[in-house]
Amino acid sequence: SPTLLWFRRDLRLADHRALLYAIELGQPIIPVYLHAEDDGGVWRDGAASQWWLHHALEDLASQLESLGSQLTIYSLESEDQLADFLIQLAEETGAKQIVWSRRYEPHFCQRDRQIKSSLTNAGILAKSFNNSLLYEPDEVKNKSGGHFKVFTPFWKSLKDQPPEKPLPSPVSLASLQPDYWPAGIAVSELNLLPSISWDAGFYKNWLASHQGAEASLKKSLSKAPNYQQTRDTPAIDGTSRLSPYLHFGQLSPRELWHSLNDRFGNDAAIVEGITRQLYWREFSAHTHYHFPHSTDRALKPEYDAFPWNYDEDIIKQWQKGETGYPIVDAGMRELWATGWMHNRVRMITASLLVKHLLQPWQEGARWFWDTLVDADLANNSMGWQWVAGCGADASPYFRIFNPIIQGKKFDPSGDYVRKWIPELAQLPNEYIHEPWTCPPLELISYGVQLDKDYPNPIIDHQKGRQQALDALAEFKSNR
């Protein structure tokens, strides 16, 4: 009897434990993708993720076809229909087992548990595999048997325990074709692409396919020796840009880990550069899994009472990259144009929003969620909470980034700002991160008039800093 292979955020054929298990069964394989419009509940995919998903599905379908198989796609109105739909599909195709890759976000854990039990009750064998993390969150414990809440001990306890080796992709699936292929729909019928074409920059920056993943992996390996020196400079393409491939499962984290170790195994400093970040990903996923409330509430619950000062207009200015702080605006514009933002700039933009501007971190997280091609609930919630001081091993709230100093330190040439804010392109370095300090007549000679071509700062740095510290004091006094 056929095996249904249910693809989710594991859109690859290499190192795919569920696929390899299905192959070992020696029964025909029917690969399917079920798109529920409300998949993920309130955290259903944002617009940038949908763009990526469209291309990743098209690519997966064509890879399967070239191996003599096919991807059958369905669209469902709601996730609540998934279990019944799978049971019906099993009846239609004669399948007796369904295999898939686990998702670890709390919403999916709970949902999948219910689906598994419905399938089991219907006499169908349901089996799931880890294809997105280096280790099973339930298997990683600290010395007292609890969960890590601080990154360094988490990293130290795991970094010398190699994750399982990646397994190769099959060379052909032709001999495992079923007698009967169920009828699905085309990827385009899922309507994942935007109706207004704001995605031109995405096409220029990304190849959302397995070739894209392989090329980025290859490039990251060749850049790895310089990673530590360049990773904090947004004007340099110094990081791997593998985040969307990891999120959509087009690249296995096991493959990344082993590729780095195989190539640079005797040079710990090189291996640990990117690997350490991969363990931050792992730490976020495990923390999110163990503390489900941290999706959109503070991991440290007392921070839910923080006196935020919600203001829609301020949030809009931040989203549009019109705060008057060049490094922040450059980041927000890079995000809008490409669906990605450099990690250092994610921290600076997030800090301005939650500290100087006192806006709830959840508002920033929501905007990133809609606009990032690598939007990942665990990494995003943890990243925002790290900045807001309420997450695991977070930067304390009183540590407030100065957006001018951050700009000067991490974009000393001003090239990053000039790339994303062309209206400031002629400014010399001494003013590029604080154009308001340039005498107005001189500024005009560089083609800039403040509040006409580029805004004045949305808030004075010292004032914003004091406001943030006062809010923290108020919060503490009310506890």
Looking at the Cβ atoms of 33 and 384, the one nearer to ligand FAD is: 384
Looking at the Cβ atoms of 347 and 424, the one nearer to ligand FAD is: 347
Q: Cβ of residue 24: shortest distance to ligand FAD, in angstroms?
A: 30
Residue 363 touching ligand FAD (CB under 6 A): no
- Asked if 33 and 59 count as a contact pair (C-beta separation under 8 A), the reply is no
Among 202, 280, 289, 410, binds ligand FAD (CB under 6 A): 280
- Is 227 annotated to bind a ligand? Reply is yes
Report d(CA 241, CA 340) in Å as an integer: 9
Among 303, 384, 410, 446, binds ligand FAD (CB under 6 A): 384
CB contact burial 329-351 (16+ within 10 A = b; e otherwise): bbbbbbbbbbbbbbebbbbbbbb
Closest-CA residue to 208 (of 49, 366, 322): 49
Stretch that binds ligand FAD, among 128-136, 275-283, 397-405, 457-465 (CB under 6 A): 275-283
Report d(CA 18, CA 27) in Å as an integer: 13
How many Cβ atoms from other residues are within 10 Å of residue 292's Cβ? 13
β-pair partners for 97: 3, 125
- Is 375 annotated to bind a ligand? Reply is yes
User: Using only C-alpha atoms, what is the Rg of the chain?
Assistant: 24
How many Cβ atoms from other residues are within 10 Å of residue 36's Cβ? 18
Binding mask 208-237 for ligand FAD (x = CB under 6 A): -----------------------x------
- Is 243 annotated to bind a ligand? Reply is yes
Closest-CA residue to 350 (of 401, 421, 312, 399): 401
**What phi and psi values does residue 154 have, to the nearest 5 degrees?**
-60, -50
Closest-CA residue to 108 (of 289, 351, 340): 289
Report d(CA 338, CA 471) in Å as an integer: 34
Among 3, 209, 243, 338, binds ligand FAD (CB under 6 A): 243
Residue 380 touching ligand FAD (CB under 6 A): yes
Tokens of 12: 């690859």
Q: Cβ of residue 86: shortest distance to ligand FAD, in angstroms?
A: 29
Residue 400 touching ligand FAD (CB under 6 A): no
Report d(CA 353, CA 319) in Å as an integer: 10
Among 372, 424, 468, 472, binds ligand FAD (CB under 6 A): 372
Scan residues 246-265 and list those touching ligand FAD (CB under 6 A): 246-247
Binding mask 323-352 for ligand FAD (x = CB under 6 A): --------------------x--xx--x--
Give the number of residues in contact with ligand FAD, rule: CB under 6 A.
28
Residue 274 touching ligand FAD (CB under 6 A): yes
Q: Cβ of residue 281: shortest distance to ligand FAD, in angstroms?
A: 4
Report d(CA 27, CA 9) in Å as an integer: 24
Among 15, 79, 105, 376, binds ligand FAD (CB under 6 A): 376
Q: Cβ of residue 117: shortest distance to ligand FAD, in angstroms?
A: 31
- Is 240 annotated to bind a ligand? Reply is yes
Q: Cβ of residue 346: shortest distance to ligand FAD, in angstroms?
A: 4
Residue 290 touching ligand FAD (CB under 6 A): no
Report d(CA 96, CA 348) in Å as an integer: 52
Work out whether strand 72-76 and strand 3-7 pair parallel, antiparallel, or are unpaired. unpaired
Residue 441 makes CB contacts below 8 A (sequence gap 6+) with none
Q: Cβ of residue 57: shortest distance to ligand FAD, in angstroms?
A: 20
Residue 151 touching ligand FAD (CB under 6 A): no
Binding mask 75-114 for ligand FAD (x = CB under 6 A): ----------------------------------------
Question: What sign for the dihedral angle of Cα 291, 343, 252, 248?
Answer: positive
Residue 383 touching ligand FAD (CB under 6 A): yes
Q: Cβ of residue 113: shortest distance to ligand FAD, in angstroms?
A: 25
Q: Tell me which residue has its CB nearest to ligand FAD.
A: 383
Closest-CA residue to 154 (of 287, 343, 295): 287
How many Cβ atoms from other residues are within 10 Å of residue 181's Cβ? 13
Looking at the Cβ atoms of 10 and 434, the one nearer to ligand FAD is: 10
β-pair partners for 31: 5
- Is 242 annotated to bind a ligand? Reply is yes
Would you list which residues are annotated within the binding site for FAD? 227, 239-243, 374-376
Give the residues lining the site for ligand FAD (CB under 6 A): 231, 239-243, 246-247, 274, 277-278, 280-281, 284, 343, 346-347, 350, 368, 372, 374-376, 379-380, 383-384, 387
